[in-house]
Chain A
């Protein structure tokens, strides 16, 4: 089954994306999905602005999906990531993995998110409610540590 990678400014419909991996099939036993949202950070944040490296971002997500396929016998993989200004409560990222069984679907979904966070070329900048902007979100050690379990 296919891998779908999309990087887009506009929102997406998680249910429609999930359905696309399962409809008209009778071999899917499990579908794991993850949706990441923009938080308001205790009311201080008015938006996140996401910058990406066009071309490389798609390639890197394809590479990560390919690594997941090499590890687990999954069926479909969908990875969507938005760019531009995103307000608190809005969706940023979506990963869905279908498989015959839950273990590979869960594992591949988490694996893809962990590697997306640390190696897909996206950067977040904060816009504050008070009108100030310019702070780039710093990378977290916890995200690097999350990769260790996949070694």
Chain B
């Protein structure tokens, strides 16, 4: 699955995107956030307050309890501030 990061999440992770491969025990978006947190200190920093992180699967907003199965792209970003 391709992971993409935006705004301060991108800066904290240190890259705009990457391929990730999570274990089978990762079922939901929330599980994925928990797993990512353990992938290094930059991830721990980016996702330290996981509640505030917004997530999109294949460019559609989803909640943290949404299953990730079948998604090709997952995006992580802060609350939006456009307009």
A residues within 8 Å of B by Cβ?
Answer: 36, 50-53, 55-56, 59-60, 81, 92-93, 113, 116-125, 136-139
Contacts and interface: CB of A to CB of B under 8 A. Distances in A.
A138 B81 CA distance: 7
Interface stretch (B20-28, B38-46, B63-71, B72-80): B72-80
Contact of B56 (A121, A124, A137, A138): A121
B78 A136 contact: yes
Instruction: Tell me the dominant secondary structure on chain A's binding face.
Output: mixed
A93 B79 contact: no
A120 B79 CA distance: 10
18 contacts: A53-B4, A59-B59, A60-B59, A92-B83, A93-B83, A120-B80, A120-B82, A120-B83, A121-B75, A122-B82, A123-B77, A123-B78, A123-B80, A124-B81, A137-B81, A139-B78, A139-B80, A139-B81
